[in-house]
Structures are given as structure tokens and as C-alpha cells.
Amino acid sequence: MATDRQQKWNATRIPDQTGRTAVVTGANSGIGLRAAQALAEAGAHVVFAVRDPERGEAAARTVHGSTEVRRLDLADLSSVREFAAGWDRPLDLLINNAGVMMVPQQRTADGFEMQFGTNHLGHFALTNLLLPYVTDRVVTVSSGAHRWGDQRIDFDDLNRTSAYDPRGVYGQSKLANLLFVLELQRRLTESGSGVRALAAHPGYSATNLQSHAASAAARAFMKLGNRFLAQDDRAGALPTLYAATQELPGASYVGPDGLGEMRGAPTLVGRSAAASDPAVARRLWTVSEELTGTRFPQGVQTLQGAQTPQGVQKRAT
């Protein structure tokens, strides 16, 4: 049974997106595809930023609306730079959605641990490179996994050259997503920009993300969870869509309103103390700049002026 909030707000309540452009990473499946579908059906032109263009084209054909597909491999910074170099127009909305979860130990093309490199560093670089074009907001998908255990950023071993714990490393990458949003918003505010950085998490949503876990036992457990506990990917996309289209302050974090934030309708939620530490957020930003060779762009405060849909108001610069 839907909650009262779900009855009041769902994907059918998205403001008109006509004239707006959105980039959604990992839009070929799961909550990324559902978010892309909803935005396109509301009138936006949606760019599917995907590692496999063939799969992206197949997914885009399921969407009623204006779409295009561009290749983006977040595990390869040369691909990130190529994608950004090919961008030449205003971008209202960047949704950093793609990710990997609890995969076996492996490295990105640049030698980074795969989960940290894809989930955080790839999106960090992409955002910095596209930010000169962004006119409204950046939404980054995190996870309740940022709270797992005594989760901290291990600055001494970000690439996990020591013991590899797929679960812990995934949680660290999701913590990094929230710290990234915190520091990005601070820099945007300091620069005088009206662009906003927000975060969202889908709760427990049944997608194919869980099928790549390193442990067979973990895969089996999550398969059962997907069947009996999880909400579907349409519901899982609602926090992303809420963060992308509703009037919310910068650095907001949106998740489901149900028990344990596992399922339910989108609402503002809290985050761990570790995800709220501005000093750690600044340190992570500095390290991420060094690792990716990308920087917060100068002059970002001048980037305004794209059409704003009814019900979504931009902040004045």
C-alpha cells in the first residue's frame, strides 16, 4: 500500500521539464533508466551516459521522449574527459547515478580501486569538467551503505592495497559521494553560483546492481532481499527525481520515508556524522583533484539562464 507521501508525490508530479537537458549516468538500467524515462516523459531532453552504447540505445528505445546516447566509462578517466570534451551546450541537470557494488577486487583503467574509482572519482571528474555548462543542479546518488559499520575514508589506503573487503569499500565509496556533495555545495556557494549540489539514495531497490557482488553468499542473500524486501526500481528512482526537480536547498539528501529508509516515498533524510564533516570533505576534494587531475572551474558563478520549469525556482546568484 502506498504511503500518504507517495500518494501526494510520485513521478507523475514532476514539473514540466520542457526545454531542459539532463545527463544521467548509468541510464541503461535500474533507477537510472527509470529516472531518465520520467524526465524524458516530462519533456526533458535526456542524454544516456553509458559504458555500452548498444545497451544504451536499446534502453533509450523504451523511452517516450527526446533522448540521445553517449559513451561514458566512469572507470576510465580518458573516457570521462572525452565525454566532457564533446559537450558544448547548457546542461540543466547532471545526475551522477552509475555505480558498481561489492564487486571482486579489481582496478580501473587508471589503477584506482574499482568501487572508489567508479562511484566517486569518475563522477568527481565528470562533474568538474561539465560544471562550466551546468545551469541548475547536480544530483549524486549515494546509499544508506555510507553508514555501514564505523565507516570512514581511509586516506592511507584509498586503493585498498591491503585486505580487501567488498562491502566496506562499497560503503566508503558511498560515503565519498556525500562528502563530495557537501564540499561541492560549499564551493558553489562561495563562488556565488546558484547551481545546487544534492544527494539522494534509493533505499533498498531491486536492480541488477546487486548481482555483481564478489561473494556468492552475498549475491544469494541480495537476490532474496530483492524478491521479498525491496521496492521496485521505479520507486527507487523517486528520491533521485525528487532531488532533481523539487525546490530544495543545496546539500540536501533525499531518501525513502519508510522504516530504516529502506522503502517509501521521497523525503529529506539525515546522514552519518562522518558524512557531515566539512574538514574531511575538503581533504577528500583535495585528494580527488590530485588523483583525477580535475579542478573546480573558475568563473562557475556566471553560469545561469536556462529555462526553469514551473515549480522549480533557481536561486539568485
What separation in angstroms does the CA of 105 have from each of 111, 112, 114, 156? 12, 11, 7, 18
The one catalytic residue among 133, 170, 242, 253: 170
Looking at residue 226, what is its pLDDT?
45
Between strands 66-71 and 134-141, the pairing is: unpaired
Show the cell assigned to 87. Answer: 559537450
From 116, 136, 101, select the one nearest 17 (Cα to Cα).
136
Burial 72-107 (b: 16+ CB within 10 A, else e): bbbbbbebbbebbeebeebbbbbbbbbbbbbbeeee
| Amino acid code (one letter) for 177 | N
> What is the model's pLDDT at position 7?
55
Q: Write down the pLDDT at residue 150.
A: 81
Q: What is the mean pLDDT of each run of 10 residues along the chain (317 residues)?
A: 53 93 98 97 98 98 97 98 98 98 96 98 98 98 92 93 92 97 98 97 71 48 48 94 97 94 93 97 98 91 44 33
* Number of helical H runs and strand E runs in the chain: 11, 8
Q: Cα-flanking dihedrals φ and ψ of residue 209, to 5°? A: -60, -40
Q: What is the pLDDT of residue 11?
A: 78
| pLDDT reported for residue 83 | 98
The residue with cell 580518458 is: 78
**pTM of the full structure:** 0.87
Domain spanning 13-203+233-292: which superfamily?
A: NAD(P)-binding Rossmann-like Domain (3.40.50.720)
Secondary structure in 3-state letters for 237-250: CHHHHHHHHCCCCC
Q: Is 270 buried (19+), middle (13-18) or exposed (0-12) by CB count in 10 A?
A: exposed
Phi, psi at residue 253, to the nearest 5°? Answer: -130, 125
pLDDT of residue 208: 56
C-beta separation of 188 from 133 below 8 A: no
Helix (H) or strand (E) holding 69: strand 66-71
Whether residue 170 lies in the annotated active site: yes
pLDDT at 9: 66
Q: Report the pLDDT value the prediction gives residue 27, as an integer from 0 to 100.
A: 98
| C-alpha cell at position 182 | 557537501
Q: Rounded to whole angstroms, how far apart are CA atoms 48 and 50?
A: 6
